[in-house]
Structure 1
Amino acid sequence: MRKHYLIEVAQNDQLIVFCPPAVIQNKQIKRIAFGSKSMEVEFRPHPDQEDRIVISRKIKETIQFPHFKIPMHAFLENEILYIGPLVGIFTSGFTSLPKQPIGERTLFFSKLLSVSKTVGALPFVFGEPHIDWEQGTIEGYFFLDHAWQTIEVPFPNVIYDRLPNRKSEGSPKLIKVRERLQKEYLIPWYNPGFFNKLDIYERLQQDTSVTNYLPETYPFISFSSIETMLSKYGHIFIKPKNGSLGLGVHQVIYDKHKDDYYCRFQDDKGVNRLRKYSSLESLFQSVFANQSLEKMLVQQGIHLLRTEQRSVDFRVHTNKDDLGKWNVTAIAAKIAGQGSVTTHARSGGDIRTLSEIFPKEECELYTEKLSNAALLLSTALDANVEGIIGEIGFDLGIDRTGDVWLFEANSKPGRSIFSHPELKEFDYLTRKLSIAFAVFLTEQSLLHPEELFK
């Protein structure tokens, strides 16, 4: 267990740092650092205080340390004592509203920043316009005492990517910011990039530890390949490679006794539809007339567990903690809406805990199966995807024989499951670990930078 220290500011201008004896015992320390700022100071033991580090007003101003009463970590490397970590959360979509600086996502960010006291880190939110490259500072948005305030701070120790969508992620201006902070300043950047479904599937296919969780998945090639899959599985899903929120997902069903085809989907007005066709060609001409099939993938249909005569799948969150280890942080069941092709709430789906829909023994069995699958898949993705991953949201299914299947992995998982009252504590845990992972990354960047930047 790492120790946290309160950072106190003495009202003098001495360039002296008082530390607990255990921190500086028999060690050569010449500088103190906060984020990207550091300065030369003298270190002296503070015999009466084991839980605090005292800096002067002059030191505070020079290293631009905002004096919040938040316990921080202390890392020692190359004769420098680093206090922090200072965690920058990078996003876009800022407004000029003082109480809603990040628009509709302001509440999410205020909850995310509220974990700082238990984690021992100082997180803030920023975007491209808030960076002063000349001074090496950022005008950061902090949420403290139930209010937003902006404070100029140094460049952070690590950056957590919370860009809201693929459009912002693909912005040349924002790509340039990320590359510059990563390459010129060697700041670890975690959770970059939304996942492409087909790309993830193909990468996981290379890892034999998880191939049994993967339904057959192909890019759209031809009607004959779809006919083959329909005769094999009875139904398939056609979905966008870069989709999210269940948008654009179609289920195609083949009735071999009557030789009819059915398509279940949600129309432009959000209404769940089920239509019947005499041939696959007529189905495609009608349903996909205005869609680019090259952007679609075809996936094996799975006969899922059902409750109340509705299909059930599961959202499983995993997070890395402050030791860099994967943890299962939340599991919820999602029940499909009446006539819906997906289990998303926007299509009439319901969120339940596993204990609400399964008897005790089944609940324990399914929880264990889903947890084991999610941890194996997290490790496999970690090994096969570029960049530093700190959290994943999995959409998993369990079929009627009890096998687990991966439908999707989300690098920036939505948080709709946490609207369920019994999942509030897991909401907090996922937020806490997403910042706690920054503590691990800070330590790694100081002690083993070659591992992070290889």
Structure 2
Amino acid sequence: MIETFQLQTHQSGDQLVLVPEQFALPRTVEYISFGSKKLPCQLISISGLQNEISISSSLAEQLCIPFGGNISPYIHEKTLYLTPLIGIFTAGFTESLLRPIGDRSMLFANLIASNSSQNNYIFVFGTHCIDWESEMIYGYFFTSERWVRHTVPFPTVIYNRLPNRKTEKHQHVKSVKQRLQSEYQIPCFNPGFFNKWDVYLQLTQSSDVSHYLPKTVKFKNFDDIEQFLSDFQYIYMKPENGSLGSRVTNIRYAREEECYYCRYRENGTNRLKKFSTLESLINHVFKGHRLEDFIIQQGISLLRHKQKPLDFRVHANKNGNGIWEVTAIAAKVAGKGSTTTHLNNGGEVKMLDELFEKQIAEDFRTKLSNAALQISKVLDEKIKGHIGEIGFDLGIDQNGKVWLFEANSKPGRSIFSHPELRKIDSHMKHLFLQYATHLAKTNLTEVVLK
């Protein structure tokens, strides 16, 4: 649990900082910091203060602290860090203060509000908010149930919530993110969207997790597809940089009919079509798409519910000690005629206890948790940058074996529409703050060692 204090201001003493008697010895602190700002201070312990830290209004102004609020302070190398100033880096801003990040304004408001009792200094910003010359950012804070804009120092830690791959690949966005990390040494967690093929290659190198992987190849020519259809009952073709089940296609060769059946989504509708040749299938279903951007994956005969295949979404998050924990597990039942279990394709979220007997549900929960934790640790070691959360799409076949279909570095929240997962969603929001605080503290040691 993060220890929380109330930050207030007083009028006396330009450098004076008043803290509760039990907080720290005055001689151990010579500086005070908020975000990237750091100033000399004089720390005085006061016996009458209760969970309160009071700094001079002059110091507050120089540190560019926008308002009083809840903080989680810590001390390192004679410096009192008032609280991690957390910047959520994103895009898609509007001119409206009512909904400054458009349709995602409520998502960010809920995340910030969920942690306001421990840290009021969490804000949202984009590339256009940065003043490099003054090393300041105008950020959007959600406080007293409304959005307000304040100018603050560069943050202590950054949470990457860029909305899509196109934005993430934009050269200006990449250069801003790189500059904040390299020039200002601000740690950023959730480095970027995963590439399916890169993740597969990384995981195949680890004997601890490679057994979870369906056989997969990157498309080179039609022979790859024919070979997979010869080896397996059916296959999937997926864009290596796709999201939300976009353009995922299921192909099966019917030997008795000497034809190909393909399930795919077109214009918002699930389709099943029959083709006499593979070439005609490809020309129709993949028209306008580069096949070189797709991977081919072995089809798995999954567990079913009412004749519909199901897989599992498993969320893993880092906690306040930087250690992975499984936070949520839910089953997703495929929609009628859908190639995937995604909710936007007609899928349905179910708890394991709704689908299986108690002991079976518990066994599956253990298997899925173990797989998610093992894979999280391997990806954490192999992928550059700090990863704070991963959403896994896992399957269990008819023999009870667990398979990994996808790992998402910026997992969606659709499963939390289920009533039983709403409390877990709240817990995950708290883990965001706990891990950000952990990262802020450990970064101080790493910067000193450099």
TM-score (norm 1): 0.95
Q: Secondary structure at the match of 2:28?
A: coil
Q: Secondary structure at the match of 2:47?
A: coil
Please tell me the residue identity of whatever aligns with 1:59.
Answer: L
Cα distance between partner residues in 1 of 2:213 and 2:118: 36
Please tell me the residue identity of whatever aligns with 2:439.
Answer: L
In structure 2, the partner of 1:435 is: 433
Deviation at 1:385, TM superposition (A): 0.6
Cα distance between partner residues in 1 of 2:282 and 2:381: 38
Cα distance between partner residues in 2 of 1:309 and 1:118: 47
The list of structure 1 runs, each at least 4 consecutive aligned residues, that deviate by more than 4 angstroms after superposition, is none
Deviation at 1:410, TM superposition (A): 0.7
Deviation at 1:192, TM superposition (A): 1.7
> Does the 8 Å CA contact 1:190/1:389 hold for their aligned counterparts?
yes
Cα distance between partner residues in 2 of 1:64 and 1:285: 59
Cα distance between partner residues in 2 of 1:223 and 1:176: 38
> Does the 8 Å CA contact 2:9/2:68 hold for their aligned counterparts?
no
Q: Secondary structure at the match of 1:92?
A: coil
Cα distance between partner residues in 1 of 2:39 and 2:448: 25
Deviations 1:245-281 (A, max 9, x none): 11111001122333332111011x1111111223333
Deviation at 1:423, TM superposition (A): 1.1
- Please identify, of 220-229 and 289-298, the stretch whose mean Cα deviation from structure 2 is larger: 220-229
Cα distance between partner residues in 2 of 1:38 and 1:392: 34
> Does the 8 Å CA contact 1:121/1:436 hold for their aligned counterparts?
no
Q: How does 1:112-261 map to 2 (within 5 A)?
A: 112-120=111-119, 122-261=121-260
Change (3 A) 1:121 1:207: farther
In structure 1, the partner of 2:54 is: 54
Q: Secondary structure at the match of 2:22?
A: helix
In structure 1, the partner of 2:93 is: 94
Change (3 A) 1:287 1:117: closer
Please tell me the residue identity of whatever aligns with 2:25.
Answer: Q
Cα distance between partner residues in 1 of 2:27 and 2:366: 46
- Please identify, of 349-358 and 303-312, the stretch whose mean Cα deviation from structure 2 is larger: 349-358
> Does the 8 Å CA contact 2:37/2:63 hold for their aligned counterparts?
yes
In structure 2, the partner of 1:343 is: 341
Deviation at 1:27, TM superposition (A): 4.6
Residue 270 of structure 1 is aligned with which of 268, 271, 295? Answer: 268
Residue 420 of structure 2 is aligned with which of 419, 422, 441? Answer: 422
Deviation at 1:445, TM superposition (A): 1.1
Please tell me the residue identity of whatever aligns with 1:229.
Answer: F
> Does the 8 Å CA contact 1:9/1:67 hold for their aligned counterparts?
no
Taking only aligned residues, the RMSD between alpha carbons, in angstroms, comes to 1.6
Q: How does 1:306-325 map to 2 (within 5 A)?
A: 306-325=304-323
Q: Secondary structure at the match of 1:412?
A: coil
Deviation at 1:59, TM superposition (A): 1.3
> Does the 8 Å CA contact 1:119/1:436 hold for their aligned counterparts?
no
Q: Secondary structure at the match of 2:92?
A: coil
Deviation at 1:95, TM superposition (A): 0.3
Q: Secondary structure at the match of 1:117?
A: coil
> How many aligned positions are there?
450
Please tell me the residue identity of whatever aligns with 1:134.
Answer: E
Deviations 1:226-258 (A, max 9, x none): 222222220000010110111111001122333
> Does the 8 Å CA contact 1:13/1:59 hold for their aligned counterparts?
no
Cα distance between partner residues in 2 of 1:30 and 1:112: 34
> Does the 8 Å CA contact 2:219/2:295 hold for their aligned counterparts?
yes
In structure 2, the partner of 1:448 is: 446
Please tell me the residue identity of whatever aligns with 2:249.
Answer: H
> Does the 8 Å CA contact 1:87/1:121 hold for their aligned counterparts?
no
Please tell me the residue identity of whatever aligns with 1:15.
Answer: Q
Q: Secondary structure at the match of 1:95?
A: coil
Change (3 A) 1:325 1:278: same
Residue 295 of structure 1 is aligned with which of 293, 296, 300? Answer: 293
Deviation at 1:314, TM superposition (A): 1.0
Please tell me the residue identity of whatever aligns with 1:53.
Answer: I
In structure 1, the partner of 2:39 is: 39
Cα distance between partner residues in 2 of 1:83 and 1:160: 19
Deviations 1:140-189 (A, max 9, x none): 10001110001111111000000001111111111111111111111001
> Does the 8 Å CA contact 2:156/2:187 hold for their aligned counterparts?
yes
Cα distance between partner residues in 2 of 1:120 and 1:56: 20
Deviation at 1:204, TM superposition (A): 0.8
Cα distance between partner residues in 2 of 1:183 and 1:203: 25
> Does the 8 Å CA contact 1:119/1:432 hold for their aligned counterparts?
no
Deviation at 1:437, TM superposition (A): 0.9
Identity of aligned residues (%): 45
Deviations 1:256-313 (A, max 9, x none): 333332111011x111111122333332233234321101100010001100110101
Task: Check if 1:17 corresponds to 2:17.
Answer: yes
Deviations 1:186-244 (A, max 9, x none): 10011121111001100111111100111111001233332222222200000101101
> Does the 8 Å CA contact 1:31/1:38 hold for their aligned counterparts?
yes
Cα distance between partner residues in 2 of 1:51 and 1:447: 27
Cα distance between partner residues in 2 of 1:41 and 1:346: 55
> Does the 8 Å CA contact 1:30/1:42 hold for their aligned counterparts?
yes
Cα distance between partner residues in 2 of 1:119 and 1:7: 11
Q: Secondary structure at the match of 1:323?
A: coil
Deviation at 1:50, TM superposition (A): 4.9
TM-score (norm 2): 0.96
